[in-house]
Structure 1
Amino acid sequence: MTLGYDLDPTRRVCTRCIYDDRVPMISFDAAGVCNYCRQLDGLVEDYNTGRPEGAAEFERLLDEIKAAGRGKKYDCIIGVSGGTDSSYLVHKAVTDWGLRPLAVHYDNTWNSAIATQNIAKVLLPLNVDLYTHVVNNEEADDIFLSFFRASVAEIEGSTDLALRETMYRAAWQYKVRYVMEGSSFVTEGITPVGRNYFDGKYISSIHKMFGTMSASSYPLMTFNRFLFWTIVARIKNIRPFWYLDYNKEDARALLEREYGWQYYGGHHLENRMTAFYHSVYMPQKFESDLRNNTLSALVRNGKMDRAEAWAKYNEPPHIEEELVTYFQKRLGLSENEYASIMAEPPKSWHEFPTYKQRFERMRPVFKVLADANLVPRSFYLKYCFPTKTEG
C-alpha cells in the first residue's frame, strides 16, 4: 500500500497531488489519495468537466441566458479583476458565445497598475461596459487593518465578499439574472475552509471589534441580503470553466497575443493586498502556503511532476520588492507594531461570530439552491458542512 511519504519522510503527502498533513481537515484513503482530490473527482462527474456532456449542458445554459436577456442591454454580469481567468472569460463570452456582458469590478484601492491596465486592454476592444464600485480607501484600509490586528487569516475576505455583493447589485440594477465567474476547480482546486472562511457577519464583527471608523461605502453582504439575491431575486451563478475544458496557460497566451495583456507574476498577485496575503501573511504568520492549490492542480492535470511541484512548494514564495513597506505605510503601521502583530499567536474564525452555523442548519436549502445554480457549488461544499475546530 502506498502511504504518500515518498516526497518528504516527515510529512504525509497525497500520492496524487502535493497536499500534505498540514492542510486543514485532510484525510487519505487506502491508496494515499487525499479527500480533496476525491472531492474534485466528484465535481468532474457532477459537471462532466471537459467532456461533450459538459459542453452540451453549458450550451443549454447559454441558450437560457440569451433568452432571459432578450430586449435588455446586458444578458450577464462578469466579475473582472485583470487576472487571467476573468479576462479570458470576457473574451470567450463576447467572441465565442455571443453574449452581451457587463463587466463588474470591486476596487479595494489596492490594485496593481498592471491589473487596471489589463481590464482596459480587454474590455475596450470588445466594447464591453465596466461597472465599478470603488470603496473609500480609508474605510477599506480600516477593515484590512482590523483583520490584521485580530490575527486571523482572512485578511482578504472582505474583498472577495464585496465583489460578489457588487455583482449582485449590478445585476439587480440592470435586471440581469445571470452572474458569470472565471473560477476553475480544475486549475485552482477548492481552497480548504480551515483558514479561508468569510461571511458578512464575520467581517462586520472583526471590524466592529478592531476597527476605528464606520465603513458606509463598503458593500457588505449580510445574511438577509444573501438570501434576497439567491431566493427572491433568483440571480444564478454560472461558472463556465466548471463545464468546459479550460487551459490557463493557453488562455494567458491568447490574452497576451490578442490584447497585449500582461502577466502579473503569479496566481492572485494582480492586487497588492492579495499579494501580501499569499506571499507574506499566510506563509510567515500561519505557516500556510496557498501555492499548493495551483501546484496540486498542475500535478493532477499532468502538467507538472509531483517532485518538481513539491520542490517549488518548498522554495520561499516570491515577495514583491517593497511590498511589506507598502503594506505598513498604507495601514499606518510602524515597523515595531507590524512585527508585534505578526508575532502574535494566530487566531481562527471559529473564535468570532459568523453565519457558519446558520449555513449548516440550512444545508438542505442550500443544496437545492446549489443544484439550481443559485449559490456556488463551492459555497455549499465548504460552508454548509461542520468543520473541525482547530486546536
Structure 2
Amino acid sequence: MTSTMICTRCVMDNSNPHISFDEAGQCNCCSDAFRRMPFEWFRGADGRQRLNSLVERLRMEGRGKQYDAMIGLSGGVDSAYLAHMLRTEFDLRLLAVHVDGGWNTEPAVRNIEILVKSLGIDLHTHVIEWSEMRDLQLSFLKASVLNQDMPQDHAFFATLYRTAHLFGLKHFLSGVNFSSESIIPPGWGYTSIDGKHVKSLHALFGHEPLTTFPIMGAFEYIWMTRIRRQLSIHRPLNFVDYDKQKAKQELISLYGYRDYGSKHSESRFTKFYQEVFLPQRYGFDKRRLHLSSQIVSGQVTRQEALAELDTPICDPRQARQDVKFVAKKLQITDAELQEIMKRPPVEHTAYPNNSKLFRSGISLKSLLRGWSRR
C-alpha cells in the first residue's frame, strides 16, 4: 500500500495519482499556482488600473442598453461579494443569473434575495424541471463517474450563454478567483461543458425525457464561444486583494449574509458530493484544494490548514443525514444510494463524449467558419 505523502509547502497529497513531488517535497499543484500567480492575480495599483479599465469598457459598451454586464449569483461568498463590490463602488448595471436545479439551501436562497433587493439588481432565475434534473442526477450516479456536479454545472453553463443571447449581453463577470481557487490538480475531474457526454449518460441510465433541460451541444458551444463570441468572461476579483474570510465578514455586517458552511455548499447535492461521496468513493478531501489555494495566497498557514484537516470533513451523524436527504430527494432508498457509492469508479471517457472535439477547438473553428459560408 502506498504511504500518504503531503506536500511540504501546501497540503495537497498523493491521493490523486497525477500529483508529483520534487526533491524538496513540494507538489506540482502549488508550484504551478506560484508560477501562474504574477499572470493571474493583480493587486495594488496595477490591479486597480485593470479593474477601472474593465469598468470603463463595460460602461462604454453598455451605453443605450439595459445592462452593462451579467453576473452569476449562487448565494455563495465569491459571487455575492463581487456583486456588492461592483454595485457599491462602480454602480454597474448588472443582470444576475441564477439556475435553480432543485438543490438550493435555504441560506443560499435568502442570501440571493437580500442581495438583489439591497443592491437594486435585476435577477433572472431559470428553474430546472425537477423530474428531469432528478433523472439526470441519478443517471450520473449510476454511471459511476467522478464529476457528479456536471448536471448542475452544465445547466448553468448552457443557461448563461442562452441568457446572454436573449438579453444581447456580451460580458459575464465571474466570481472565480485566484485567491481561493488557484490549485488545479492535474487529471482531476471532467469538463462540464460536454453536452454529448450529458446526453450519452442519460441515454444509458435515464428514463425521463429531457425535453426542457438546457443542454449545449459541441457545435452550439463552438458557435457561441469561438465563432459568434457571445460572451467575454472576466474575473474582477483577480484585480483586488481578495480575502474570502474578510469578504464574508463584510457581507455579514452589511447584509446579514448567512454562512452555509463549506465551499460550494449552497447546493445540498454539492455538499453531499464533496463531504460524503468524494471521501468515501475516492478517499479525497476537497478541503485540500481550497486550503492549499489559501496557503498560496498567504491567507492561511500550512499549520492552520493541517489543523483543519485533522477535523472530520463532516461528522458521521451529519453524513448519514446528508445521504438520507439526497436519497429521499432522488426517490431512492438510503441503501440504494450507499450501494451506488460502493460500485467501482468508471472513467468519463468510457462513455461517449466530445473531449477530442473540444481539444481541437482551432480546427473546429475553421471548419465551422467554412460551413457557415455555404
**Structures share fold, TM-score greater than 0.5:** yes
- After TM superposition, the structure 1 = structure 2 runs for residues 1-391 of structure 1, keeping only pairs within 5 Å, are 10-192=3-185, 194-197=187-190, 198=192, 199-230=194-225, 231-318=227-314, 319=318, 322-362=321-361
Contact 1:24/1:193 (CA < 8 Å) preserved in 2? no
**Alignment partner of 1:77: what SS?**
strand
- In 1, Cα distance between equivalents of 2:44 and 2:261: 31
Corresponding residue of 2:372: none
CA distance in 2, matches of 1:44, 1:364: 30
Report the Cα distance in structure 2 between the residues aligned to 1:314 and 1:346, rounded to whole angstroms. Answer: 27
| Aligned equivalent of 2:371 | none
Of stretches 233-242 and 53-62 in structure 1, the one that deviates more from structure 2 is 53-62
Shift of 1:193: 5.6
The verdict on how the C-alpha distance between 1:48 and 1:313 changes in structure 2, with shifts beyond 3 A counting, is closer
Tell me the SS of whatever aligns to 1:62.
helix
Q: Secondary structure at the match of 1:322?
A: helix
CA distance in 2, matches of 1:141, 1:239: 32
The alpha-carbon deviation at position 24 of structure 1 amounts to 4.6
Flag the structure with more relative contact order, 1 or 2, with Cα contacts below 8 A and sequence separation at least 6. Answer: 2
Q: Answer yes or no: is the 8 Å Cα contact 2:67–2:95 preserved in 1.
A: yes
Partner of 1:387: none
Partners of 1:157 and 1:363 lie apart in 2 by 25
- Distance verdict in 2 for CA 1:47–1:300, change over 3 Å: closer
Equivalent position amino acid for 1:340 in 2: E
CA distance in 1, matches of 2:320, 2:344: 26
Deviation at 1:195, TM superposition (A): 4.0
**Percent sequence identity over aligned pairs:** 35
**Any idea what the Cα deviations from partners look like across 1:23-75, whole Å, max 9, x if unmatched?**
25222234332222232223322235224323322322221111111111111
Q: Which moved more, 1:201-210 or 1:143-152?
A: 201-210
1:371 corresponding residue in structure 2: none
In structure 2, relative to structure 1, the CA distance for the partners of 1:48 and 1:181 (3 Å cut) is: closer
* Contact 2:164–2:230 (Cα < 8 Å) also in 1: no
Structure 1 distance, partners of 2:175, 2:128, is: 23
Which stretches of structure 1, 4 residues or longer, exceed 4 Å deviation after superposition? 363-366
| CA displacement at 1:119 relative to structure 2 | 0.1
Q: Distance in 2 between matches of 1:165 and 1:80?
A: 15
In structure 2, how many angstroms separate the alpha carbons of the residues matched to 1:48 and 1:291? 22
Distance 1:48 1:316 in 2: 32
Give the C-alpha shift of residue 190 in structure 1.
4.0
Structure 1: unaligned runs, 5 residues or longer:
1-8, 367-391
Count residues with an aligned counterpart: 358
TM-aligned CA deviation for residue 304 of structure 1: 2.9
